[in-house]
């Protein structure tokens, strides 16, 4: 057991197919989207209700509760993006913060040792700081160009993950940004423990099939 409660091997396993979504990403009811993604085998879910079309206040809270209950029924961790107060109110499984959000050290302090803390890191220095702050994993990206985040930083390519590993970062890493069924294997080969995906699942013709294929690719079985 690591000092942050969740065993790092369990974190690595949970990162394999890390689905992220909010209502702004979905072409159908987000509850139905998550149901299909769970049926397809996603291993972790991040509630990221963000942007102009996002729900706020009571509507955001109600949606979060519904999505959390679904995750619980599958035994899949439910992580909240950015909103520490919401995560605390729901007793969510964890929080993901970026460099412009609440300080990771504060999030760890307020959530306690047993919750999952994810931090976005763009440099090895940020990754080391995240570890010192009690992060369980780091999100590295955008690996490829993305349409899902307007203020995304410059594209890193899978090389970005290779560089992190070469500089000695051993924390669990999930790649994010523009990851599809065609390029996910490159992210895993670069040294990531998993892939974080929004549009390749939310916009898929079959959400369940897309999640299943990501699961297959990230389990080391190659491209279907
Ligand atoms: C798994 C994962 N990695 C990175 C991010 C991006 O976080 P951040 O940089 O704070 O940007 P927003 O998602 O808040 O717009 C993430 N959400 N998840
Ligand atoms: C939240 C986030 N952070 C970096 S890229 C990104 C969006 C990823 O979305 P997509 O999988 O649709 O490219
Ligand atoms: Mg953020």
Domain ranges of the chain: 8-218
Whether pLDDT at 1 is above 70: no
DSSP string, 87-146: HHHHT-SEEEE-TTSS-HHHHHHHH-TTSEEEEE-SSHHHHHHHHHTT-SEEEE--SS--
Confidence band (pLDDT; 50, 70, 90) for 112?
Answer: very high
Nearest atom (ligand 1) to Cα of 139: 3
Condensed to tens digits (0 to 9), the pLDDT of residues 153-198 reads 999 999 999 999 999 999 999 999 999 999 999 999 999 999 999 9
Whether pLDDT at 5 is above 90: no
Confidence band (pLDDT; 50, 70, 90) for 68?
Answer: very high
Ligand 1 in reach of 194 Cβ (< 6 A): no
Provide ipTM, 2 decimals: 0.99
Ligand 2 probe mutation, 17, 178, 214, most atoms within 8 A of CB: 178
Note the pLDDT of residue 224: 41
CA of 105 to the centre of ligand 3 (A): 15
Whether pLDDT at 221 is above 60: no
133 belongs to an annotated ligand binding site: no
Q: Is the pTM of this model over 0.80?
A: yes
Condensed to tens digits (0 to 9), the pLDDT of residues 20-54 reads 999 999 999 999 999 999 999 999 999 999 999 99
User: Max alpha carbon distance in the chain (Å)?
Assistant: 45
Q: What is the DSSP letter of 190?
A: T
Condensed to tens digits (0 to 9), the pLDDT of residues 127-151 reads 999 999 999 999 999 999 999 999 9
Collapsing DSSP to helix, strand or coil, 78 comes out as: strand
149 belongs to an annotated ligand binding site: yes
When mean pLDDT is compared across 3-12, 178-187, 197-206, the lowest value belongs to: 3-12
Q: How far apart are CA 17 and CA 77, in angstroms?
A: 12
Note the pLDDT of residue 223: 43
User: Per DSSP, what are the bridge partners of residue 138?
Assistant: 119, 173
198 belongs to an annotated ligand binding site: yes
- Helix 159-166 to helix 124-132 angle (10° resolution) is 60
Q: Which CATH class is domain 8-218?
A: alpha beta
Ligand 2 in reach of 179 Cβ (< 6 A): yes
**Beta-carbon neighbours within 5 Å of ion ligand 3:** 82, 98, 101
Q: How far apart are CA 177 and CA 147, in angstroms?
A: 9
CA of 224 to the centre of ligand 2 (A): 23
User: Per DSSP, what are the bridge partners of residue 64?
Assistant: none
Q: Is-contact 138 122, C-beta < 8 A?
A: no
Which protein residue has the closest C-alpha to ligand 1 atom 8? 98
For the stretch 123-129, contacts whose Cβ atoms lie closer than 8 Å and that sit 24 or more positions apart, written own/partner, are: 124/163, 124/164, 124/167, 124/168, 124/169, 126/99, 127/164, 127/169, 127/171, 128/169, 129/104
């Amino acid at each position: 057991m690591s000092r942050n409660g969740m065993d790092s091997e369990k974190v690595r396993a949970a990162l394999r197919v890390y689905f992220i979504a909010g209502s702004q990403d979905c072409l159908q009811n987000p509850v139905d989207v998550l149901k299909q993604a769970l049926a397809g085998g996603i291993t972790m879910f991040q509630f990221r209700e963000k942007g102009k079309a996002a729900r706020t206040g009571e509507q955001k809270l109600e949606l979060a509760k519904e999505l959390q209950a679904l995750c619980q029924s599958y035994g899949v961790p439910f992580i909240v993006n950015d909103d520490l107060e919401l995560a605390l109110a729901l007793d969510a499984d964890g929080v993901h913060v970026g460099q412009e959000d609440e300080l990771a050290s504060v999030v760890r302090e307020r959530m306690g040792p047993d919750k999952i803390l994810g931090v976005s890191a763009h440099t090895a220095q940020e990754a080391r700081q995240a570890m010192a702050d009690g992060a369980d994993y780091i999100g590295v990206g955008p690996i490829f160009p993305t349409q899902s985040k307007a203020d995304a930083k410059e594209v890193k390519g899978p090389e970005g993950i290779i560089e992190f590993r070469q500089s000695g970062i051993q924390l669990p890493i999930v790649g994010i940004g523009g990851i599809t069924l065609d390029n996910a294997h490159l992210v895993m080969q670069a040294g990531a423990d998993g892939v974080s995906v929004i549009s390749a699942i939310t916009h898929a013709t079959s959400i369940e099939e897309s999640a299943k294929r990501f699961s297959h690719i990230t389990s080391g079985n190659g491209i279907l």
